[in-house]
Structure 1
Amino acid sequence: MNIIGRLTKDAEVRTIRDQQQVVNFSVAINESYRRKNGEQVKKTTYFDCSYWRTVNVACALTKGTLVELTGSPSAKAWIGKDGEARASLNFKTDQIKFHGGGAKHTTAATQAAIEKPQPMEDDLPF
């Protein structure tokens, strides 16, 4: 599935179990339409996104950047500490395509570096 939206804040890199790293960010998707009576309706849907391939992408995922994401959606529901029901939409991102905007503009070279993880340095003496 593909979604297109703008980042609501700068991406964060988190380290989880077994020293594995994930990039977390949130995307807002705006939709507008007219009802039969001519009334304009605007609706915003928020997705909490995760990207597991490389953390290099975090520097380019800044607030306001327009991105196209390919991946799989899911929903999560829980009861909050206040006893109220809560829910969120999540998107496990497999691919990110930048469409510009945000604080930093992503060039084609940056896009290529993000999509292709850097090889790890080997500390062998030969």
Structure 2
Amino acid sequence: MEISGRITKDAVTAKVSNDREVVNFSIAINDSYRPKGSTELKKIVTYIDCSYWMGSKMAQWLKKGTVVELFGRVGLNVYNNAEGKALGSLTFHTSNIKILVFPKTENASAVPAVQKKNAPKDEPDDLPF
């Protein structure tokens, strides 16, 4: 399954056991629709809790405002609250993350710069565009 959205707050890494860590974050998905017979456009936002188990170093890139494309599966968590009432929540178990857009920041150094390795800085590259 594939979903994409904007991260709502910086990702948090939680230690589950001695050798396992999980990266938890949430995304917002914006959508809109026009009700039948109406000219008014209705906007809705869906918030989805996500978890990433493949490596905790990914958390450093998952900052508030980042637009991501996620691949994975939906999981259901069912539990009883203090009053004994059965409740549930959905979590998107992410297996692959593609960062589409980094958030705008005042401090340009907050967004990592991508540099080609072994390329001289003063010489132009040989790309035709």
TM-score (structure 1 length as normaliser): 0.73
C-alpha separation between the residues in 1 aligned to 2:2 and 2:112? 20
2:3 corresponds in structure 1 to 3
Deviation at 1:24, TM superposition (A): 0.7
How many residues are treated as equivalent by the alignment?
109
* Alignment gaps of 5+ in structure 2: 116-129
Shift of 1:106: 5.5
Structure 2 counterpart of 1:31 = 31
Q: Which has the larger radius of gyration?
A: 2
**Alpha-carbon contact 1:100-1:106 (below 8 Å) kept:** no
CA distance 1:81–1:23, change in 2 (3 Å): same
Instruction: Give the unaligned 5+ runs of structure 1.
Output: 110-126
Q: Which moved more, 1:78-87 or 1:58-67?
A: 78-87
Q: What is the aligned-residue RMSD (CA, Å)?
A: 2.1
**Larger helix fraction of residues:** 1
The SS at the match of 2:59 is: helix
Relative to its length, the structure with more strand (as a share) is 1
1:27 Cα deviation after fit: 0.9
Instruction: Go from structure 1 to structure 2 and tell me whether the alpha carbon gap of 1:83 and 1:34 turns closer, same or farther (over 3 Å shift).
Output: farther
Q: What is the aligned-residue identity percentage?
A: 42
